[in-house]
Structure 1
Amino acid sequence: MSGFGQHLLIDGAEIYYQVSGNPDGQSLVMLHGGLGSSEDLEGLMKFIPDLFKVIRIDLRGHGRSTLGEHPLTYTRYQQDVEAVLDTLQVDKFHLFGFSDGGTVGYRIAACDERRVLSLSTLGSQWRLEPDDPSIELYQGLTADFWQQEFAEEIARYEEINPQPDFNHLVAQVKKLWLDTFDSGYPDELVEEITCATLIMRGDKDFLFSLTEAEELCERIEESEFFNVPFTEHEAHKEYPEVVGEVLRRFLQINH
């Protein structure tokens, strides 16, 4: 899929988005995970039906988007995505989100259900309970640890981000992941989601447990669940042919 990339100034940050696919098709918004970029979703692109116009957005501070001065929250991400879509005059759309991208998707689908035609998520938390095992991991996260584990990804961030400051980005993302206020995870709001919803997770995902996924499915009336075998959190990278095919079928059924 060919496409073009542009920046949109939103509340002090330059938010990058790329449009590709069928210019006359229904819009499919694709959102990446925390400390990643829209490039991480490249492996899924060949599975997207030609019926869709694809809009990929780099979340604030990530990829080719600058951070600005506002603290990162899921609400802030939501506002950025909605501003991009308003600028593109996209009234109705499908949405796929991985990890943080899916958490943003829950918020958007719950808060403005008339616009979202379908929602598909992968490894995306919807709440943070006081005993959630991911809390300890988030609290202990450091930029140095991420550098050791994901050196190539950070090098790419340093290369493409207009104002790279990885230490500051990590500090902001940690606060976002631990935010239990209304600005954070949608929590009970997910019960307002009325569109067709596909919830996916890697079978060995250490951040989004099977129990949490099942609870979420019970909260969303029109939901389906797929557990991706042999994978952890980044199932779309570990087993793209399975995640991609399931996503393709879901989009075709709900087109």
Structure 2
Amino acid sequence: MFEHKSNSFINIDSAKIYYETLGDPQKQPLVLLHGGFGNIEDFNDILPLLEKEYRIIGIDSRGQGKSTLGVEKLSYARIEKDVETIIHRLKLENPVILGFSDGGIAALRLAASKNVAIDKLIVIGTEWHSKSLEESKGFLSAITAESWKNKFPETYEAYQRLNLEPDFDKLTSAMVQMWTDESTTGFPNERVQQITCSTLIVRGDNDHLVSRQSAFELAEIINKSHLANIPFCSHEVIAEKPKMIADIINSFLK
């Protein structure tokens, strides 16, 4: 289980990016990328349910968990570059990448770039195209540090507990800019056509951030893809149905 008790950081372009490893270092790497305002502990419910043994690497995204924000503009491209750098620095070969929400967007970008040879890709609750902002940009732009703290106090408390340089107002502003970024540093858009690794797409059927149509379109575009639409679940499908999600992931990884 991830506990944020190690002191493993990699300095990347003005930020200290925290990572934690579990399992046998000789096994295949499984890289975990969390969602917005989250951290690697968000995956703890599914880790004991994985059937195959991996070298598991959890990465706190820039500005979140124990990782510092740095002075670079926060974007999905920036997170993608951080993950790519860590994979190369740790010499991770043939990794499986699992990304949730924001982490999934960075994972899609990474798989499309082909700067890392990825064995398999898993994205959960993940949007892929900036056209989704037609419906979501309004409410995303209205998010403030205070509104987020009021609605999700547990994520704020975890951030304050873990982060080396906590500044929640600054982080919230950076996150909103990333979420509403319609430029080339944002969503991968049509570049997902370049993804060739076997891909699992998972979505909660009541996900208000990722539509059924969007998930279906992504599955249609990526060759060798599999789509799991989980009934009666929201965006936080991992937390709501950890065993079901783990069973699907185990089947895919076999």
| TM > 0.5 fold call | yes
The 2-side partners of 1:141 and 1:150 are apart by: 12
Once structures 1 and 2 are overlaid, which stretch shifts more, 16-25 or 189-198? 16-25
CA shift at 1:5, angstroms?
4.9
Conserved in 1, the CA contact under 8 Å of 2:199 and 2:226?
yes
Deviation at 1:167, TM superposition (A): 0.8
Contact (CA 8 Å) 1:199, 1:213: kept in 2 or not?
A: yes
Task: Give 1:50 shift.
Answer: 3.9
Instruction: Determine what percentage of the aligned residue pairs are the same residue.
Output: 37
Give the AA of the match of 1:28: L
**Matched residue, 2:73:** 71
Partner SS state of residue 45, structure 2: helix
Return the alpha-carbon distance in structure 2 between the equivalents of residues 149 and 75 of structure 1.
28
Asked whether the 8 Å contact 1:203–1:231 carries over to 2, the reply is yes
Superposed, 1:103-122 pairs within 5 Å as: 103-112=105-114, 115-122=117-124
For the aligned residues, what is the CA RMSD?
1.5
Normalising by structure 1, report the TM-score. 0.95
What are the within-5 Å matches in structure 2 for residues 1-255 of structure 1?
1=1, 4-112=6-114, 115-129=117-131, 132-251=134-253, 253=254
The 8 Å contact of residues 76 and 187 in structure 2, kept in 1 or not, is answered as: yes
Amino acid at match of 1:116: I
Note the C-alpha offset of 1:228: 1.2
CA contact (8 A) 2:99 2:105 kept: yes
Counterpart residue identity of residue 160, structure 1 = L
Structure 1 position 202, deviation (Å): 0.6
Aligned-partner SS, 1:204? coil
- Residues 2 and 41, structure 2, Cα contact 8 Å, conserved in 1: no
Q: How far did 1:114 drift? A: 5.8
Alpha-carbon displacement from aligned partner over 1:44-76 (angstroms, at most 9, x marks no partner): 111223421100000000000000000101110
- The answer (yes or no) to whether the contact 1:203–1:229 under 8 Å persists in 2 is yes
Shift of 1:221: 1.0
For residue 133 of structure 1, give the secondary structure of its aligned residue in structure 2.
helix
Out of 40-49 and 24-33, give the one that drifted further. Answer: 40-49
Distance 1:5 1:118, change over 3 A: farther
Asked if the contact 1:205/1:231 (under 8 Å) is kept, the reply is yes
Q: Is the 8 A contact 1:21 1:50 kept in 2?
A: no
Mind listing any 5+ residue stretches in structure 1 that lack a counterpart? Answer: none
Measure how far apart 1:14 and its partner are. 0.4
Q: Does structure 2 retain, via aligned residues, the 8 Å contact 1:74–1:184? A: yes
Segments of 5+ residues of structure 2 without an aligned counterpart are none
Q: Distance in 2 between matches of 1:114 and 1:8?
A: 18
- Contact 1:32 1:58 (8 Å CA) reproduced: yes
Contact map agreement 2:128 2:188 (CA 8 A) in 1 = yes
TM (norm. structure 2) is 0.95
Call closer, same or farther: CA 1:72–1:114 in 2, change over 3 Å.
closer
Amino acid corresponding to residue 80 of structure 1 in structure 2:
D
The runs of at least 4 aligned residues of structure 1 exceeding 3 Å deviation read 1-5
Q: CA 1:148/1:76 → structure 2, altered by over 3 Å: closer, same or farther?
A: same
